[in-house]
Chains A and B, each alone.
Chain A
Amino acid sequence: MTEPVLPAESVRDARMRRRNQAERRFKLYGQIAIGFAVSFLVALLISIGFRAVSAFSQHALVVELPAEELSEPGRLDVTELNLAIRANLLTTFPELANERVERVDLFALVPRLAVLPVVQDLQSHEPVSEGSLSVNLAMSDDVDLYLKNDIRSHRSTRVGQAGRLAQLSTGAYRLSDAGQDSFISFQDQLAATAAVDQDILIALSGALFELADTAGASLILNHLAGPVPELGEQGARPVTAIFLGSDSANRPLSTRQVAILILMRDAGMIERRFNSSLFVNADSTYPELAGAAAAIVGSIFTMLVTALFAMPVGVFAAIYLEEFAQKSQLTNIIEVNINNLAAVPSIIFGLLGAAVFLNTFDLPRSIPLVGGLVLGLLVLPTIIIASRAALRSVPPSMREAALGLGASKSQAVFHHVLPRAAPGILTGAIIAMARALGETAPLLLIGMVAFVSDVPTSPNDEATVLPVLIYKWFSGSERAWEPMTAAIILILLTILIAMNLVAVLLRRRFERRW
């Protein structure tokens, strides 16, 4: 007997240490991998949630229209109401009535079609004949975004006390200080912020001016909005400056529009409300008026068609393959074929739909019927595979007992096996429906991306669905589409998570060990 030659203590220890380090490293890689996946998911949800928040509220302009100004409030149409609102805005801002450019700036704050919900509301209610009519109008998307974000970069400072106001030409004024070098500190501040390219507004007793230049201690101003105070001595009234933090070149609103907004806000004409149009309106080319109602209804119709087609067919096919089919070449082919079909890219099903349903059968484009059938074919393999697994998990003794008591094959299957497998089948079906609900690519190919401004009333009407609406709004050029897209994504994700949750609960509730 010879003793095995062991390496020296120290060598063995060093090697063991290395091996243990390798062990810890390996474990760490696994943790990093899981951490990466989970943090990516969290980043995705947070990023979308963060973008979506602002889309759930909306700024609206509140206008009080005296009823006697309107001929018949119950029978207003869009044009008439718009005229009345414009007239009302001009009485609020009479100084803007003369120049066309100024009127355009004022009217552009509210899109023409914003009165549509008001008109519809008025038509369905009792006509108002006296008192006043309070009208709540969605402001244009640029205004809405400005009031939500950019307005936070406004900085107000006190300039000093006003001296003399003199007119230089139409709209241009010179304001001197009230003596005692009242404007000096302001000019220091101007010099300090000169590096930043930004517009500066000057407020003087209810009027807003744009700072054009400085001349010594005086300010050269262009009038923007609000009643111009009387020329001459201003009696040391306070002057305020508002640094906008942006200049008109990189801002969608003109400086005058910003000034009007400030005045409107101070007068309480603007209120922030819940953006219900997101849920009750159909699609529109104006982001502030667009909503997902048509897409939600379209999704419901499409899912209805998908479920009515794919669930019975899928379950029956699974029953046939699992319970009735003899082992043969044909069933073997069907089996391989179904497994393969489950992995075919979804866009191929779109090509199938375009070639077969649209081209060969001449069915109309963009209807939920065709979309539902295409999605039904797409999820059919998933449902078959899940249903087969559920049927297989019912122990053979159930079938044998039924057959032993004299039941026929189909009685055994339909009376005994199928009810036991139902929760599993339902779980698989819900997950398949969730997949169909989130599918986009095949629907693009059968034309469900068309612009649809009416809520569909049947599976034969032109429609779009939620994921396609997400894609469409994402492709829109206005900035306001982005938060709205994120908001619709949140709605879609909520529905999908709810469906998955139901599936998980079903599985837990009916899970049964045999």
Chain B
Amino acid sequence: MLQTIGHLPIGWLLIAPLAAAGFFAFSFGRTEVGALPIGSTIGARLHSQPNYHGYFLAVCTILPAAAVSLAYLMLGEPYVRESLRNELPDYLVARGPDQVALFVERVASYVGHGTTENTGNNLFDASVDRYAILKGQARLVAIGAAIAAAFGGFFLGRRQLNRSFPARVYVERTITALLFVCAAIAILTTVGIVLSLVYETIRFFSSPDGPGVFEFLFGTNWNAQTGQNFGAVPLFFGTLMIALLAMCVAVPVGLFSAIYLSEYASPRFRSWVKPILELLAGIPTVVYGFFAATLIAPLVRGLAEWVNALPFTPENFLAAQPTSALAAGLVMGVMIIPFVSSLSDDVINAVPQPLRDGALAVGATKSEAIKQVVLPAALPGIIAAILLAVSRAIGETMIVVMAAGGRALITLDPTSDITTVTYQIVSLLTGDTAFDSSRTLSAFALGFTLFGITLFFNLVALRVVKKYREAYD
């Protein structure tokens, strides 16, 4: 019996009764309040509509039960594992905590898969049975506690109901609190990002084979996969180089398309071309990566070989690798075009029309008015757009993973395959990895650096945009 409960999907076991109880409490509260006697209270009218009394009772019922369920979901599994660990025979415990943890993990995942067949390993099968029983017990306790909490909440709430009871106020306060919690999740995400990155980064720098902070930030030798060299300068260099190549494409193309669309194009042309440009932003980066690796990279390589074959260039002038910084940078630049163009479009449109009219009235041609009046006025906004685009380019992952390569090099040759911060994070963390090797932890240190750099760019850009808006609003 306990075993069967241990195997059941717990999510439905908790959610379905909760929903049913809430619905019951709602309809009960709604009908009950209408039937309440008038005498004992001040006014004859209800303070709140019956629906609100229903909601109030439903909240009273669900909230405590939900809290109990949540507590079980957070604490139940660790508790069951701990109990199982305490019951394991001594000879297994003697093999060390890692082996025990691995064993418990295997047992848990075996039960989680819902299979009940025996594996033939006596200890394992017994542990599986015991685990299911322990889990069943914990669940029974949790479900019982949840039911008790629901009943308690229901009866306590029901005692409050009378005609002058301000149910609506309480319900609305609950709603506001819920809304606030939702808004706070955004903050929690940032806190979570910062805490987890900082925590793992500190572990990285304090681990015995980890490097010093100085070596990490200024060392020029990166070999995290096999060796123990963690000098990240080649990665920063590669990241900046590819971002720079991307900006060489994205800034002129994005800026000129924005100028053309907002100053020259007919509304009809604009209504067609703008969505097409925005489509570029909607294409997944993995698709760009595929395109870069299968079409652009071979083209770049062919071009490099052609340059190498020219009479006046030395023989191995360009590296001409099958994957190259140039291919990744070029495609990334195209991906970023819509960011630059739509943001610049906004700021150019925000420049007040009288400025243009004034320039045209003193005899400037349209391009002169744009170059000498509109663009200087829009410059802060355009710079912000470029900063956001740079931050985007630095954090871009799939294109460089698929088209840039993994060699930690410092070279100015754009046809060589150089690596980036994001590439290394992916290659260090993909596959089965334990969270205690300095190899894995170095990915978090890289992530922390990446987060810091992009945060800086974003904050500056957002500030500039805000200032700029205030100037013209």
Residues of A within 8 A of B (CB): 19-20, 22-23, 26-27, 29-34, 36-38, 40-41, 43-44, 47-48, 51, 312-314, 316-317, 319-321, 324-325, 333-334, 336-341, 343-352, 354-356, 358-360, 362, 364-365, 377, 380-381, 384, 408-410, 431, 434-435, 437-441, 444-445, 447, 449, 458, 460, 467-468, 470-471, 474, 482, 485-486, 489, 492-493, 496-497, 500, 504
Do B337 and A37 touch across chains, with their CB atoms under 8 A apart? yes
Q: Is B38 at the interface (CB under 8 A from chain A)?
A: no
* B337: chain A residues within 8 A (beta carbon): 37
Q: Is B379 at the interface (CB under 8 A from chain A)?
A: no
Known: A344-B451, A438-B283, A482-B294. A19 touches B260 (CB 8 A): no
Do B454 and A364 touch across chains, with their CB atoms under 8 A apart? no
Q: How far is the CB of B451 from chain A (nearest CB, A)?
A: 5
Residues in B55-79 with C-beta less than 8 Å from chain A: 77-78
Chain A residue at minimum C-beta to C-beta distance from B371: A26
Do A352 and B291 touch across chains, with their CB atoms under 8 A apart? no
Do A471 and B286 touch across chains, with their CB atoms under 8 A apart? yes
Q: How far is the CB of B213 from chain A (nearest CB, A)?
A: 19
Do B172 and A409 touch across chains, with their CB atoms under 8 A apart? yes
In the complex, which of the residues A27, A48, A362 contacts B264, with contact meaning CB atoms closer than 8 Å?
A: A27
Do A364 and B109 touch across chains, with their CB atoms under 8 A apart? yes
The prevalent SS among residues of A at the interface is helix
* A23: chain B residues within 8 A (beta carbon): 365-368
Give the distance in Å from the alpha carbon of A470 to the alpha carbon of B275 in the complex: 26
Known: A343-B391, A343-B392. A41 touches B179 (CB 8 A): no
Do A471 and B402 touch across chains, with their CB atoms under 8 A apart? yes
Binds A, one of B90-98, B143-151, B153-161, B442-450: B442-450
Chain A residue at minimum C-beta to C-beta distance from B430: A444
Do A48 and B193 touch across chains, with their CB atoms under 8 A apart? no
Do A445 and B260 touch across chains, with their CB atoms under 8 A apart? no
Do A492 and B443 touch across chains, with their CB atoms under 8 A apart? no
Sampled A-B contacts (21; CB under 8 Å): A22-B367, A26-B367, A27-B264, A29-B260, A38-B276, A38-B277, A47-B294, A312-B182, A320-B179, A345-B396, A345-B422, A346-B397, A348-B193, A350-B429, A351-B443, A352-B197, A359-B435, A438-B286, A441-B397, A493-B287, A497-B282
Do B291 and A27 touch across chains, with their CB atoms under 8 A apart? no
Residues in B162-184 with C-beta less than 8 Å from chain A: 168, 172, 175-176, 178-180, 182-184
Known: A343-B458, A438-B284. A36 touches B253 (CB 8 A): yes
Q: How far is the CB of B387 from chain A (nearest CB, A)?
A: 10
Give the distance in Å from the alpha carbon of A435 to the alpha carbon of B283 in the complex: 9
Give the distance in Å from the alpha carbon of A20 to the alpha carbon of B451 in the complex: 48
Given contacts A313-B182, A410-B172, A434-B282, 15 further A-B contacts (CB under 8 A): A30-B257, A33-B255, A38-B277, A40-B280, A43-B295, A324-B179, A341-B186, A345-B395, A345-B450, A347-B425, A348-B451, A352-B192, A360-B196, A408-B168, A486-B290
Known: A29-B256, A34-B257, A356-B192. A500 touches B282 (CB 8 A): yes
* B276: chain A residues within 8 A (beta carbon): 37-38, 41
Do A345 and B398 touch across chains, with their CB atoms under 8 A apart? no
